[in-house]
């Protein structure tokens, strides 16, 4: 009985030595997808000059990228809600001020978008090619109303426009 077990053990060892031992390794590097966007509103009522109306931040590490677009419902004009007293619109422009940002080389910024076409979305942060690294940033949204409109803004009336900021994970 011992010789049978001994022969079996020798056979197993010889097979192991003859054929070798096969080991498999798994190499993994899991990275969770992050596509985050946050918007903070600062004020709704404006005066002439430069006014920070909000800020936004984003982080994206997806391999197909992202974009941020901005549009103005009234085409960069504060329109009166009532025209009966002869009120006219008040033009303005929008600019983005980067506070912090680390952007992929393929990310472009349009920090002074032309929003004069009502409702037309303009890319303000976008990719021109596939990304090679993650990107993040925080930006202030600034409404610029020129000093020349100060007299118009002193006239009675209610004026409004809506800015729409959209973050898209592509």
pLDDT in tens, 28-49: 878 888 888 888 887 766 677 7
Query: What distance in Å separates the CA atoms of residue 139 and residue 57, rounded to the nearest whole number?
Result: 6
- Is residue 81 within 8 Å of residue 160, measured between CB atoms? yes
Q: From the centroid of its chain, how far is CA 150?
A: 34
Please enumerate in sequence order all residues whose Cβ is within 8 A of that of 33, keeping only pairs 6 or more positions apart, or say none. Answer: 61, 62
pLDDT in tens, 75-115: 999 898 887 777 788 899 999 999 999 999 999 999 999 99
Q: What average pLDDT does the segment 49-74 reach?
A: 93
pLDDT at 164: 94
pTM of the model: 0.77
């Amino acid at each position: 009985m011992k010789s049978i077990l001994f022969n079996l053990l020798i056979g197993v060892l010889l097979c192991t030595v003859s054929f070798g031992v096969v080991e498999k390794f798994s190499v993994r590097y899991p990275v969770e997808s992050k596509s985050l966007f946050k918007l903070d509103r600062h004020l709704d009522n404006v005066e002439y000059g430069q006014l920070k109306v909000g800020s936004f931040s984003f982080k994206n590490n997806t391999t197909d990228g992202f974009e941020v677009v901005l549009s103005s419902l009234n085409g960069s004009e504060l329109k009166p809600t009532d025209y009966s007293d002869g009120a006219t619109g008040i033009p303005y422009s929008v600019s983005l001020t980067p506070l912090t940002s680390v952007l992929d080389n393929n990310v472009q910024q349009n920090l002074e978008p032309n929003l004069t076409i009502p409702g037309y979305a303009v890319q303000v942060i976008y990719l021109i090619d596939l990304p090679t690294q993650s990107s993040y940033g925080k930006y202030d949204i600034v409404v610029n109303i020129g000093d020349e409109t100060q007299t118009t803004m002193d006239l009675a009336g209610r004026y409004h426009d809506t800015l729409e900021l959209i973050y898209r994970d592509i």
